[in-house]
Structure 1
């Protein structure tokens, strides 16, 4: 369900800076976890900027930290609707981890880009753009063997639309089925 990220600052920083036209800087963290600071890109007063946000929210009504929202309902759920409308971000990363039980042991797998060096996960910035929740969706065929959800991944050429677009062009990205081949390897 994407509860751990892999962030390798080079070539990630160089590629994101070039693709988005901003100065993007982050530290390598091969096991980035909820509550830790995640480097994202969003729009502030109409301009793309890096936003460093803690991953997860703890609403009064929730027993646990909420780190993910379903793409299928993010636009209508009271907790997320405002942030979806006004504070969409992307999380540039080198990959994410899933675990699968094998022979009575949990085995850690790294999901990373197959063709490029960057994945852009969809996210929203909540609480006046101070906290991050990432979006998940139904898994593609490749990921379904490991989990019943996967991150909502935004294609490189749709990142600006995801962050700053409006109406149908944004909603269609919620249904985006990521069909690029991912590299999946044992990370234990």
Structure 2
């Protein structure tokens, strides 16, 4: 489900800035939680720019904060369709956390990061509010290496698809919504 994000800012800021040719600056937060601020990437005036957002939205009809949306249905759900069409974003991160039942009452926390220690780009959508932008991250079916830990994982956009993610019409993105890159994730007990 991805309810925690890992932001190791010293390394992340330099790598994102260098790879995209922008000045990216995120605040370090090794266990970023819903409602906290996170740096996202957006397309503004035909350039990639940084936009900070609070993680999660609280629709009037929901008793719970919504932090994730299923990528496979994001275009069809009234709550998410407009944001997906108009306000797609990416969340550069060092990784994310999941907990797995290890038997009894014990749950083990695991960190999922890139095998080559490069940034991961989680797909998301933004919502403007009176308090600033709000973020919902997109999830999809897990890859083979992630499946033993959770039945969902963040939708990851590889660097070569970043401009395509921002410039394409929603229907042109369908293949990205169901296809996460395989064999790039390193999983460590945290």
**Deviation readout 1:34-83 (Å, 9 max, x if unpaired):** 00001000012332110000000000000100000000110111111011
Aligned to 1:117: 118
Aligned to 2:40: 40
Q: Give the TM-score taking structure 2 as reference length.
A: 0.93
Tell me how far apart the structure 1 counterparts of residues 39 and 73 of structure 2 sit (CA, whole Å).
24
Tell me how far apart the structure 2 counterparts of residues 116 and 174 of structure 1 sit (CA, whole Å).
23
Tell me how far apart the structure 2 counterparts of residues 180 and 23 of structure 1 sit (CA, whole Å).
29
Aligned to 1:86: 86
Give 1:56-75 correspondences, 5 Å limit: 56-75=56-75
Q: 2:134 aligns with which of 126, 131, 136?
A: 131
Show structure 1 runs of 4+ deviating over 4 A. none
Q: Give the TM-score taking structure 1 as reference length.
A: 0.94
1:142 aligns with 2:153: no
Tell me how far apart the structure 1 counterparts of residues 164 and 182 of structure 2 sit (CA, whole Å).
19
Deviation at 1:160, TM superposition (A): 1.5
Structure 1 contact 2–150 (Cα < 8 Å) conserved: yes
Deviation at 1:126, TM superposition (A): 1.5
Aligned to 2:55: 55
Tell me how large the CA RMSD over aligned residues is: 1.4
Tell me how far apart the structure 1 counterparts of residues 31 and 117 of structure 2 sit (CA, whole Å).
20
Deviation at 1:101, TM superposition (A): 1.1
Question: Structure 1: which 5+ residue stretches go unaligned?
Answer: none
Question: Structure 2: which 5+ residue stretches go unaligned?
Answer: none
Tell me how far apart the structure 2 counterparts of residues 51 and 180 of structure 1 sit (CA, whole Å).
30
Tell me how far apart the structure 2 counterparts of residues 152 and 69 of structure 1 sit (CA, whole Å).
10
Tell me how far apart the structure 2 counterparts of residues 154 and 180 of structure 1 sit (CA, whole Å).
14
Tell me how far apart the structure 2 counterparts of residues 172 and 116 of structure 1 sit (CA, whole Å).
26
What is the number of residues matched between the two proteins? 187
Aligned to 2:178: 175
